[in-house]
Structure 1
Amino acid sequence: MNLNIQIPDNTALIFEYMQKGQFICSNSTDIDLRDMYNMIDENYESLYQYFSQINYTLERGNEYFYFSRTESKTTLEQKILRAYYWIDVLDFFKTYDETFGAGFRFQPEQILVEANINVLLQNKLDGIRKHFSDKDIRKDVLDNMIRLLAKESFIELENEKTNTYKVLTSWHYLEKLVDSINIFEDIEDEKPE
């Protein structure tokens, strides 16, 4: 164990932010978060070692950082249920616009207008309703999704006047989650060509 690790002065701020389960993204609209991203990027190895001493693993994604920890079985089951939710959310937004991803900008009102004319989008939004037991109105379901995405630092409110949100690079985490699911097809019923 090397106790002579050089760590940045603002390491406490990084820890306080990320220990809540939030991401630090390179394309954040918040300059302080972009500065933290650059600080982590420049000092990744020393910060990785430093945080590992307190049982946090500093993870590097595609233009984002986050903490992971070894979880108990109960927490793992909760994570699986949470993954179902994120898969539904990703599917919903990709149905809205297949280019939806890091850097994408949107207004929730535009999504609701599209959901009113697109039956597939309506069905997906209605399907997400199961994750919010007390919500009956599509607007409430979408508002809750947006609020949770912002809280989990997957999106940020970029312009309050126009209610425009920006998708952060941490969105890659959700895409990676879905991409990591392997589905093996049953090949017994296939006929050779």
Structure 2
Amino acid sequence: MELTIRIPDHTAAIFDYLQKGLFISSNSTNEDVRDLYDIIDDDFEALSIYFAQIGYTLERGNEYFYFSRTEPRVTLEQKILRAYYWIDVLDLFKTYDETFGPGYRFQPEQILVEANINVMLQNKLDGIRKHFSDKDVRKEVLDNMIRQLTRDSFLELENEKNNTYKVMSSWNYLERLIESINIYDDSQDDEKPE
């Protein structure tokens, strides 16, 4: 007996978008992306089976979708360096505002103004320089980071006129990634009961 699955009409568009390493978030400012989200949400099982046949795993997050690959594509060292970067990025934005997350709206200029009066935020922003160029000034570092986050579909420029960005649901992926890091505290082993 052969199993027949119904493949949605926009499967090619979904594949083209996700295979670039991007996320499809439910709260995207782009109506086409939100439509793709709805299509995937409605036909997740069929699309999962379909994409698995060509070596992609369709993953569901908290209000976002993405592809993962079964084969290793980067070295362990590259993954660790990338994780350091994401930790620094999340740390910077949570230092700026603890409520920073999906749906949050901000203007990069606000972060720079806050960094002028908040030494901890200044230090976090200066620490991110190591991921770009040590010669860059804070504004360039922040602009580069926001450009990268937008390119990776974690942020979207919501209003070009006043330079307002919106945090996508895919931000949950970064938070989940960082939360999944377990740090073993070996100092507990040194404590022996008397």
Amino acid at match of 1:114: E
Amino acid at match of 2:53: Q
Q: Do residues 99 (structure 1) and 108 (structure 2) align?
A: no
Shift of 1:84: 1.1
Q: What is the TM-score of this pair, normalised by structure 2?
A: 0.94
Distance 1:192 1:3 in 2: 61
Amino acid at match of 1:77: E
Shift of 1:3: 6.1
Pair 1:157–1:71, CA change in 2 (3 A): same
User: In the alignment, what sits opposite 2:148?
Assistant: 148
User: In the alignment, what sits opposite 2:34?
Assistant: 34
* Structure 2: runs of 5+ lacking an equivalent: none
CA deviation vs aligned residue, 1:111-141 (integer Å, no higher than 9, x gap)? 0000111111111111110000264200000
Kindly indicate whether the alpha-carbon contact (under 8 Å) linking 1:135 and 1:141 is maintained by their aligned counterparts in 2.
no
Number of corresponding residues: 193
Amino acid at match of 1:102: P
User: In the alignment, what sits opposite 1:75?
Assistant: 75
Distance 2:114 2:7 in 1: 48
The percent of aligned pairs where both chains have the same amino acid is 75
Of 151-160 and 72-81, more deviation after overlay is shown by: 72-81
Distance 2:41 2:73 in 1: 32
Shift of 1:30: 0.5
- Summarize the alignment of residues 12-91 of structure 1 with structure 2, pairs less than 5 Å apart: 12-72=12-72, 74-91=74-91
Of 96-105 and 125-134, more deviation after overlay is shown by: 125-134
CA deviation vs aligned residue, 1:80-113 (integer Å, no higher than 9, x gap)? 2111111110000000000000000000000000
User: In the alignment, what sits opposite 1:137?
Assistant: 137
Q: What is the TM-score of this pair, normalised by structure 1?
A: 0.94
Kindly indicate whether the alpha-carbon contact (under 8 Å) linking 1:58 and 1:65 is maintained by their aligned counterparts in 2.
yes
Amino acid at match of 2:174: L
Amino acid at match of 2:147: R
Two-structure CA RMSD over aligned residues (Å): 1.7
Shift of 1:145: 0.6
* Structure 1: runs of 5+ lacking an equivalent: none
